[in-house]
Amino acid sequence: MKKVIVGISGGVDSSVAAILLKEQGYDVEGLFMRNWDSSINNDILGNPDLNNNICPQEQDYNDALEACEKLNIKLHRVDFIKEYWDDVFTYFLDELKKGRTPNPDIMCNKYIKFDQFKKEAEKLGADYIATGHYAKLEDGYLKKAADLNKDQSYFLSQVSVKQLENVLFPLGDITKDEVRRIAKEHDLALASKKDSTGICFIGERNFKNFLKNYLPATSGDIVNIDNNEVIGKHEGLMYYTIGQRRGLNIGGSEERMFVVGKNLDKNILYISFGNTEYLYSDSAIIEDLNFNCDLRPDKCNAKFRYRQEDIPVELEYLDDGNILVKYDHVKAVTPGQACVFYVDDICIGGGMVKEVRKNNEKLWYLL
């Protein structure tokens, strides 16, 4: 009997993944990862749940333990607090310091769930590891899940070919509704538990209060990009994203406005009143590339955000190892975002947006 170690998070997805693997005849054990320590990291102002008697991650562990006991599955527990800080959270902070838009969930998969977790599972004698991700592995290719509304292949784009070896995704062919139904059939209390949101393993936070513990916020000018007029003060460039329309706190104006750019050196936040053209680009330089298969197309589809529809793109492979991605008038492509490539339903990998361009020129107001 092959042994599978399932990453059990305390949520419904990973618990149902364990159920399905047991039904398929595997010897299943769970492993709970503790990657954030709120008692060490002074983030009480940033976490509205810490006024309870138990922090959210400990509640997740208790939920995971209860589910595993109900399913008669042994649950191991491991701390990756240092590894998460060094490889994921430090990257997150460094990107914010640069004024970019990071995706810590992608790095968590690369460095924690499919690296540290996999190594720990091998110590426990695992033939395979499994997670509750909505994705598929078929014929050596990483593919979108059947439930496209929940598909998480975007977040797996930096996982390497080697890391995907001996990995199982039991939820690849079923919907979220089916997952909750299976959990109810097995009388799991977490069947109706709300899906986790926020930063991977850290959870929901008041973003500004949370970041104040780690990055100093420096106020600066908000400038109307159309006439270079200073119209207000921002609270720190890290708190704003390209295309953002709310929370700008510019008094006395009822006009539609949105963030269009940042100047890190001068600490300026650029906004525009109604001119959406600033938000559009037609190409981008992609760096830090990872391909998880042998496909290297000249044309494919791409996503720059998780919920974005597939965008037709052309790829030009540059001599420096980066890729120039060309597309037609796409909104709010932003430095630091992940660009993930797809051939039909196959996720072939991706990289990070280094530079955003329009008409063959770098957009000066996007870093």
> Residue 194's pLDDT is what?
85
How many Å apart are CA 113 and CA 32, to the nearest integer? 11
Q: Of 95, 96, 135, which is closest to residue 114 (Cα–Cα)?
A: 135
Domain presence at residue 224: yes
Last residue of a domain, one of 231, 257, 274: 274
The distance from CA 341 to its chain's CA centroid, rounded to whole angstroms, is 15
43 and 71 part of one domain: yes
On whether residue 325 sits in a domain, the answer given is yes
Return the pLDDT at 37: 78
Using an 8 Å Cβ cutoff, are 18 and 5 in contact? no
The answer to the question of residue 318 being in a domain is yes
Please indicate, yes or no, if residue 212 is contained in any of the structural domains.
no
Secondary structure of residue 175 in the 3-state scheme: coil
Give yes or no: residues 96 and 23 share one domain: yes
Does residue 179 form part of some domain? yes
Give the torsion sign (CA, 186, 123, 129, 289): positive
Separation CA 238–CA 232 (nearest Å): 16
Q: What integer pLDDT is reported at residue 308 of this predicted model? A: 94
* Residue 153: inside a domain: yes
Q: What span, in angstroms and rounded, lies between the C-alpha atoms of 145 and 127? A: 23
* Residues 177 and 299 occupy one common structural domain: no
The predicted structure's pLDDT at residue 51:
47
> CATH code at 106?
3.40.50.620
Known catalytic membership, residue 293: no
Q: Could you tell me if 230 and 348 lie in one domain?
A: no
Catalytic residue among 108, 300, 339, 347: 108
CATH number of the domain to which 264 belongs: 2.30.30.280
Residue 80 belongs to some domain of the structure: yes
If asked whether residues 248 and 348 sit together in one domain, one would say no
Q: Along the 367 residues of the chain, how does pLDDT read in single tens digits?
A: 999 999 999 999 999 999 999 999 999 999 999 998 766 555 444 444 444 455 667 888 999 999 999 999 999 999 999 999 999 999 999 999 999 999 999 999 999 999 999 999 999 999 999 999 999 999 999 999 999 999 999 999 999 999 999 999 999 999 999 999 999 999 999 998 888 766 665 655 677 888 888 998 899 999 999 999 999 999 999 999 999 988 887 865 657 899 999 999 999 999 999 899 999 999 999 999 999 999 999 999 999 999 999 999 999 999 999 999 999 999 999 999 999 999 999 999 999 999 999 999 999 999 8
Assigned domain for 132 exists: yes
Same domain, 124 and 155: yes
Catalytic residue among 55, 68, 200, 339: 200
CB neighbours of residue 78 within 10 Å: 15
Whether 185 and 243 map to the same domain: the answer is no
Query: What's the number of domains the chain is made of?
Result: 3
* 314 shares a domain with 173: no
Per-residue pLDDT, 253 = 60
Active site residue 300: no
Are 135 and 235 part of one and the same domain?
no
**pLDDT for residue 288:** 98
The domain in which residue 299 lies consists of 278-362
Boundary-marking domain end, from 227, 245, 274 = 274
Predicted pLDDT of residue 249? 77
Regarding whether 179 and 54 lie in a shared domain, the answer is yes
Q: What pLDDT is recorded for position 54?
A: 56
290 contact partners, CB below 8 Å, separation of at least 6: 110, 157, 158, 159, 160, 349, 350, 351
- Which CATH number goes with the domain that contains 308? 2.40.30.10
Residue 303 and residue 198 in one domain: no
Specify whether 248 is located in the same domain as 289.
Answer: no
End-of-domain residue from the set 157, 178, 207: 207
CA distance linking residue 190 with residue 142, whole number of Å = 28
Question: Which H/E stretch holds residue 207?
Answer: helix 207-211
